[in-house]
Chain A
Amino acid sequence: MAQYFTETRNCELSTLYYLETQLASAWSGVTLVKSFNKAYAKDVSLPVVAVALEDISTERREIGTTAINNLYTIAIDIFATSDGMRLDLVDFIINQLKDGWTYYIYSHPSGSNATLDKTADGKIRVNSFVENTRVEISEYSQDVKDRYRHTIVIEIRK
């Protein structure tokens, strides 16, 4: 029997899949990784975009029911090779996010952990753009990956 993923994991994986596809179609050589630390791996070269689901806020959908609404906070860290590239990547990503993207239900097919199946099931929308700011930590870091950094934080819902 196939093992289906929860909504939280589906949201994260759907966002990763969407950004990976969009970046691959318009940019060359941009690596997308799933966690912040992986962006610093020696075998990952710039430019890098790191995407991770950071927080979940849960609230009642309406009074009188037990249904809940989840808001997911997604952090997108951009590590560019120049200031111009940083700004271009930010604009590109924001433009891709504004209209929403497909929500997929992911599952492991029976007997296999190596591959993932996915089925489209609605849409993910951006509830709010929380932060869109340059990260300036040159006084602490001399690492080449920290030189042209930018962070976008968004809140999404299914």
Chain B
Amino acid sequence: MAEFEFTINKGKDTIEEFIQKLRLREDEFEQELKIATKDAALYMRNYINRRKKRKGEREQGERGLGEALSKRMTVERYGDRISVGFGEIAYLKIHHSYWRVLNDGGMIAPRTMGFFGNRQAPSGRQRNQVFHYNPKGLNKDGTPYGKGTSFLLYPKKPARPIRYISATRRYLSSRVNKLVKQLTTRFK
């Protein structure tokens, strides 16, 4: 939920007059905010794609978390508040259950199911890999490793946080500040 503050020019308008004038521009503001939110969604997608370690594309569905978040953005009005959201928890839980770990980082559970974008698992013996991947075994669905959609992974060290949520929040906040300045300077 984002809240927006407006700067008032002292000595020009009373607060009531200022609010009255802003009310007339509510729709204009909302339209501009929708454009800024679309840009923020694109920014978030690129931010994730630039920083994620295992690059590549899944063969089916959307291409990773960035796209899943950016395709499900909402701008909704609740009275005097405008809420901006990215992603849909129910969808993320099924298709991109790692979204929270990617943002916050951490030492994930002893064994976990995970994806390698292009289904090419790097050797777990490589020093720069967070996960150790056991080549002799079966996936959860009974298929051999490397043949199914996911791998059983053994973490060797903590996953570093990407913090894409705070980065997007910074981006959107900067856009909104500029937008509010543009709208309010017309009252001078």
A residues in contact (CB < 8 Å) with B:
36-37, 39-40, 54-55, 57, 73, 75, 77, 128, 130-131, 135-137, 140-143, 145-146, 149, 151, 153, 155
A72 to chain B, nearest CB (A): 12
- Please tell me the size bucket of the interface on B: 20 to 34
Residues from chain B with a CB closer than 8 A to the CB of A155 are 170
Q: How far is the CA of A55 from the CA of B110 in the complex (A)?
A: 31
A130 near B169 with CB under 8 A, answer yes
A143 near B106 with CB under 8 A, answer yes
Q: Supply 22 A–B pairs (Cβ within 8 Å), ascending by A.
A: A36-B160, A36-B161, A37-B157, A40-B157, A40-B158, A57-B170, A75-B163, A77-B161, A128-B173, A130-B166, A137-B100, A137-B101, A140-B100, A140-B106, A141-B101, A141-B106, A141-B109, A142-B109, A143-B106, A143-B107, A151-B163, A153-B166
- Closest A residue, CB atoms, query B112: A140
- Closest B residue, CB atoms, query A39: B158
Cβ of B89 < 8 Å from any Cβ of A? no
Cβ of B2 < 8 Å from any Cβ of A? no
Residues from chain A with a CB closer than 8 A to the CB of B112 are 140
Binary interface profile of B, 153-186, with partner A (CB < 8 Å = 1, else 0)?
A: 0000110110101110110010000000000000
A142 to chain B, nearest CB (A): 6
Residues from chain A with a CB closer than 8 A to the CB of B163 are 54, 75, 151, 153
B107 near A146 with CB under 8 A, answer yes
Q: How far is the CA of A131 from the CA of B103 in the complex (A)?
A: 12
- Closest A residue, CB atoms, query B105: A36
Residues from chain A with a CB closer than 8 A to the CB of B160 are 36-37
Contacts A57-B170, A136-B100, A151-B163 known; 11 new A-B pairs at CB < 8 A: A36-B158, A37-B157, A37-B160, A54-B163, A128-B173, A130-B170, A131-B166, A135-B106, A137-B104, A140-B98, A142-B110
**A-facing residues in B134-162 (Cβ within 8 Å):** 157-158, 160-161
- Closest B residue, CB atoms, query A131: B166
